[in-house]
Amino acid sequence: MDNFFTRIIENCFTIIDKTATEVPYHLYNHQKILLNRWVTCGESAGHLNLKAASVGSSSLALAFGMAKAAVIPNTVGVLWAHEETLAQKLLARGKRFIEVAQKSKNPYMSFPGYNRNRTDFIELENRSKVYIETAGSSIDIGRGDPVNFFIGTEVAFWKKKGLLTAILPRLPGIKIFESTGNGTVGWFYKQCMNCLEGRGTYNFTFVPWFVHWEYTIPGKKIVLRDKTDDELDLQETFGITDNQLQWRRNKIEEMDSGEGVNGEDAFKQEFPTTPEEAFLRSGSPIFGQQVYSKIEKTIEDPIFVGDFT
């Protein structure tokens, strides 16, 4: 599953971990699967990445884009984030990728530097440019240049409506749209549903919570003797361990606000097990999302559709 970009990222880039320590950028299996799809599906392919929260998708997409810009001269890339603080964070991270790569002793390539006088985008010495901005902050995407790769992060949370419809005709290169779910409305939801129903034109990938190595209770093996039917279903279907189930229980308790927000429903939207869980219905159904989901499984196609005359 390793490819040229996997080797560049793991041998030349670093990442800040959750202890605020800068460490070598080690890719986990789900990240390698994503990266391999981006690399092998072609230079004009479109990708939808529906994911659980904090599984490293945005950073991976940025690392791929920066490696691509460094390897291929004259590349133009654009990354749109859903909010300004994230855009600035990713801009700084992109510059850091290049700084570290320049100092790395690797057999793969010599990395170009970047113009430190530029503060609004990254301009590399090989004439590649990477614009990292808030979604919709500029109507002139790519500043008039053909966009060789486009990355949209947390697309389901973009505040301005109709952005994607407006910019898609101007994106001839690879396109990566990634997000957690945000209700059953909007472009991202519609395109994901199209893919799940076999009608989509994008390459669809879903990253559930349980593939992330951090989403478990570390240390001694836990044995749960009071599992619910739903927890038993999770184990039977997905092979989830008791340590992972305990992490899930803790997170559900943490996310239960006591003010009308059900912890289990909140968990399913932020840390979905299936694509369907990621797109909870808008509002709070009176019977709870779990009841609706079970009812949906019992629905069958009608015997007859038509008019009685």
**What mean pLDDT is predicted for residues 135-158?**
88
Q: Are residue 255 and residue 134 in the same domain, yes or no? A: no
Residue 64 lies in a domain: yes
Model pLDDT, residue 143:
75
Euclidean distance between CA atoms 115 and 173, whole angstroms = 24
Please say if the pLDDT value at position 6 is more than 90.
yes
- How far, rounded to the nearest angstrom, does the alpha carbon of residue 15 sit from its chain's CA centroid? 17
**Residue 293 falls within a domain, yes or no?**
yes
Q: pLDDT tens across 176-208, in order? A: 999 999 989 999 999 999 999 999 899 999 999
- Is residue 194 domain-shared with residue 287, that is, in the same domain? no
Q: How many residues does the chain have?
A: 309
Mean pLDDT of 46-63: 96
pLDDT given for residue 145 in this prediction = 85
Residue 5, pLDDT > 90, answer yes
> Phi and psi (nearest 5°) for 296?
-60, -35
Q: Could you report the per-residue pLDDT of 91-128, keeping only the tens digit for each?
A: 999 999 999 999 887 776 789 999 999 998 999 999 99
Q: 207, 232, 254: which is the final residue of a domain? A: 207
Whether 112 maps to a domain, the answer reads yes
Same domain for 195 and 220, yes or no, is: no
Domain boundary among 190, 207, 224: 207
Residues 176 and 217 grouped into a single domain: no
Which of 165, 184, 207 terminates a domain? The answer is 207
- What are the tokens at 24? 């070598």
Cβ proximity of 26 and 213 under 8 Å: no
pLDDT value at position 53? 94
Give the residue among 275, 260, 145, 118 at the shortest CA–CA distance from 204: 275
What proportion of the chain, given as a percentage, has pLDDT over 70? 89
What is the residue range of 239's domain? 211-298
- 110 and 41 in one domain? yes
In a domain, 304, yes or no: no
Residues 58 and 94 in one domain: yes
Bin 162: left if φ > 0, else alpha if -120 < ψ < 50, else beta. left
Shared domain for 230 and 284, answered yes or no, is yes
Indicate whether 303 belongs to any domain.
Answer: no
Buried b / exposed e over 82-103, threshold 16 CB at 10 Å, is beeebbebbbebbbbbbebbee
Same domain, 121 and 193: yes
Closest CA to 263 of 241, 290, 223: 290
Residue 46: burial class (beta carbons within 10 Å; 0-12, 13-18, 19+): buried
235-256 average pLDDT score: 96
Domain count for the chain, please give it: 2
| Mean pLDDT (whole number) for 165-172 | 90
The answer on 72 and 183 residing in a single domain is yes
Q: Are residues 71 and 164 in the same domain?
A: yes
**For 56, phi and psi rounded to 5 degrees?**
85, 20
Is residue 306 domain-resident?
no
The amino acid at residue 220 is K
| Confidence at 282, pLDDT banded by 50, 70, 90 | very low
Residues 188 and 236 in one domain: no
Residue 309 lies in a domain: no
Same domain, 195 and 227: no
CATH of the domain at 162: 3.40.50.300
165, pLDDT greater than 80: yes
